[in-house]
């Protein structure tokens, strides 16, 4: 009986040890962590992850699932769903393309899970969605822009009206001279009296 109890105790320990000896996956966040997205543009910064095994080698064709929150800030993928499944390329990278932001301000988490040959890994990418404010111009900038607009308008008026030419000609054309008119009358000859 003691041998059975010993084996009953030993078998779970061996199984736990064997599971811990399996190769493990690592998820490295390449892009997207901490990104601040402009809701007005409706597109989020694309999360990019790289999957590596315990030897830092990329497993070709690992499945990566990106999951967006169903409530609060976040959005949906191009097909309208909250999950996107992609496979890694030869460099071990996976990209969550086409996130369409909803109109809710705030932080949100993108859950990332990877699996390959029975190995799994999980991580979270945190981003923020906000309505970006329009850039604020100083009074000095507004004044300079108004002066520049006035100069441009003055030049445009001068060009279209012929500038300072007496004949009202436009730039690049010779001035027009009014014609001399001679009318018949009584000739007079002589000088001042």
- 29 in a domain, yes or no? yes
* Per-residue pLDDT, 10: 58
Q: Is residue 162 predicted with pLDDT exceeding 70?
A: no
**Chain segment 40-76, per-residue pLDDT in tens:** 887 789 999 999 998 999 998 999 999 999 999 999 9
Counting DSSP H helices and E strands in the chain, the numbers are 2, 10
Domain count, the chain: 1
If one counts every other C-beta atom within 10 angstroms of the C-beta of residue 47, the result is 23
Q: Answer whether residue 172 shows pLDDT above 70.
A: no
Structural domain range at position 33: 19-130
**11, part of any domain:** no
Q: What are the pLDDT digits (tens) for 84-109?
A: 999 999 999 999 999 999 999 999 99
Determine whether 25 is exposed, middle or buried from the number of CB atoms within 10 Å of its CB (0-12, 13-18, 19+).
buried
pTM summary value: 0.59
The size of the chain, in residues, is: 193
* CATH number of the domain bearing residue 78: 2.60.40.10
Q: Is residue 105 part of a domain?
A: yes
């Amino acid at each position: 009986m003691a041998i059975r109890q010993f084996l009953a105790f030993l078998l779970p320990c061996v199984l736990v040890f064997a599971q811990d000896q399996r190769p493990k996956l690592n998820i490295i966040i390449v892009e997207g962590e901490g990104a601040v997205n402009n809701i007005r543009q409706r597109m989020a910064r694309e999360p990019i992850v790289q999957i590596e095994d315990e030897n830092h080698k990329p497993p070709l064709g690992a499945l990566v699932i990106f999951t967006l929150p169903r409530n609060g800030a976040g959005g949906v993928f191009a097909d309208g769903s909250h999950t996107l499944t992609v496979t890694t390329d030869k460099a071990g990278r996976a990209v969550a393309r086409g996130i369409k932001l909803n109109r809710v301000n705030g932080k949100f988490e993108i859950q990332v899970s990877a699996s390959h040959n029975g190995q799994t890994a999980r991580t979270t990418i945190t981003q923020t969605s906000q309505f970006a404010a329009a850039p604020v111009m100083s009074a000095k900038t507004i004044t300079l822009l108004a002066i520049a607009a006035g100069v441009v308008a003055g030049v445009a008026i001068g060009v279209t009206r012929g500038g300072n030419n007496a004949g009202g000609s436009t730039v690049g054309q010779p001035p027009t001279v009014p014609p001399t008119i001679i009318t018949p009358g009584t000739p007079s000859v002589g000088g001042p009296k």
